[in-house]
Amino acid sequence: MKIVCQNVWKVFGPTPERIVAQVTPEMSRAQIQADTGHVVAVRDVSLSVAEGEIFCVMGLSGSGKSTLIRCLTRLIEPSHGKILINGIDVTAMDATTLRDLRRNDISMVFQRFALFPHRRVIENVAFGLEVRGMDQAKREEIALDVLQMVGLNGWEYHYPHELSGGMQQRVGLARALAVDPEVLLCDEPFSALDPLIRREMQDELLRLQKTLDKTIVFITHDFLESLKIGDRIAIMKDGEIVQIGTPEEIVANPVNDYVREFTKDVPREKVLTASAIMRPYSGTLSAQTVAATTTLEKLIPIAANHDQPITVIADDTPVGEVDRVSVMMALAEGA
């Protein structure tokens, strides 16, 4: 795994170690704060992120998601636990090693762009390379290539205030990519954008990921955004992880009412696939077959035109069956 968090806590207050040791599972965040004056921002979080995965952390305001992502590189010091990146414990790194990790292996994209207003676009994009000590000609060559990659060629010598919000976020993304990091940390990067521009930036990130194959931790408060972008999603509440799974797993099997509330307005036909609703294979191959990855949206007209069960295929092997009734029941569960 590229990133592993093991029992990570962040407690704000004078004696966080004492709080970590004393807190019991039944104690709520509000109770802990009322009794001790400490705020538990991240509570016993364990998760892993695979190389090349887009891992979304979704939660409402105050859930602890932004604190968690800052703990990964110790922009906020965790109070307890281990954070491993490439198998190395970040919490045990000295200042020099940690600085090298931040400069060379990890980049961050912020919600509010965080561009230097007095620097032109190309200088903003090349900033990380400048910090590394790369000469100007080489870093600007790389910056130009990355700007073309994100669709900003022709804007290299403009200042940030001359760009739209969506274009400024493209600059922020380009700056993060210019240093060729192994890991990209995105803290609600699109939440300040208008809906149309936001959708364009989501598509842009997915397009770039197909080429670059980075490991991405993406923070969002928008469940639909996490469904679109994430290979897997962690849902947070009051500093804790409530559920981790693929978009399909979470929509099909929400672990509790809190998660179920997020899934109510999800277009299930676009998320759920045949593999999520199939029953065991009967042993009889049907004349009509579908791939296990076929969405309900594509499965509906097929099921409507067939009275007999439809065999579900994965890796050229029958793995299950669906029919008109199973498709309709899956759709009805979200109604």
pLDDT at 334 over 80: no
- pLDDT of 163 higher than 80: yes
Q: Which two tokens stand for residue 299?
A: 């499965």
Q: What is the pLDDT of residue 335?
A: 60
Give pLDDT, residue 111: 81
Q: How far is C-alpha 193 from the chain's CA centre?
A: 18
CA distances from 79 to 26, 287, 307, 333 (A): 20, 59, 59, 42
Q: What is the pLDDT of residue 192?
A: 83
Contact 259, 244 (CB under 8 A): no
For the cut 90, the answer to whether the pLDDT of residue 104 exceeds it is yes
Nearest to 273 by CA among 233, 300, 254: 300
Q: Where are the beta strands (DSSP E) in 110-248?
A: 183-187, 215-220, 232-237, 240-245
pLDDT tens digits for 38-78? 999 999 999 999 999 999 999 999 999 999 999 999 999 99
Average pLDDT for residues 198-210, to the nearest whole number?
94
Query: Which tokens in the block code for residue 214?
Result: 């980075």
Place of tokens 């887009």: 54
Q: What is the pLDDT of residue 324?
A: 94
Predicted confidence at residue 112, as pLDDT, reads 79
Q: In sequence order, what are the residues at sequence separation of 6 or more whose Cβ sits closer than 8 angstroms to the Cβ of residue 241? A: 45, 46, 47, 234, 235
Residue range 227-240, pLDDT digits in tens: 999 999 999 999 99
Q: What is the largest CA-CA distance in the chain?
A: 69
Structure tokens at 170: 């493209």
CB atoms within 10 A of CB 77: 10
pTM: 0.92
Whether the CB-CB separation of 11 and 39 falls below 8 Å is answered with yes
φ, ψ for residue 4, nearest 5 deg: -135, 125
Q: What percent of the chain has pLDDT over 70?
A: 99
What's the DSSP call for residue 175? H
Asked whether residue 28 carries a pLDDT value surpassing 90, the answer given is: yes
Using pLDDT thresholds of 50, 70 and 90, give the confidence band for residue 332. Answer: confident
- For residues 279 and 267, give the distance between their C-alpha atoms in angstroms, rounded to a whole number: 22
Kindly report, residue by residue over 248-303, the tens digit of the pLDDT: 999 999 999 999 999 988 999 999 999 999 999 999 999 999 999 999 999 999 99
pLDDT value for 89: 98
- Geometric angle at alpha carbon 173, from 172 and 179, rounded to 5°: 100
In whole numbers, what is the pLDDT of the chain averaged over residues?
Answer: 95
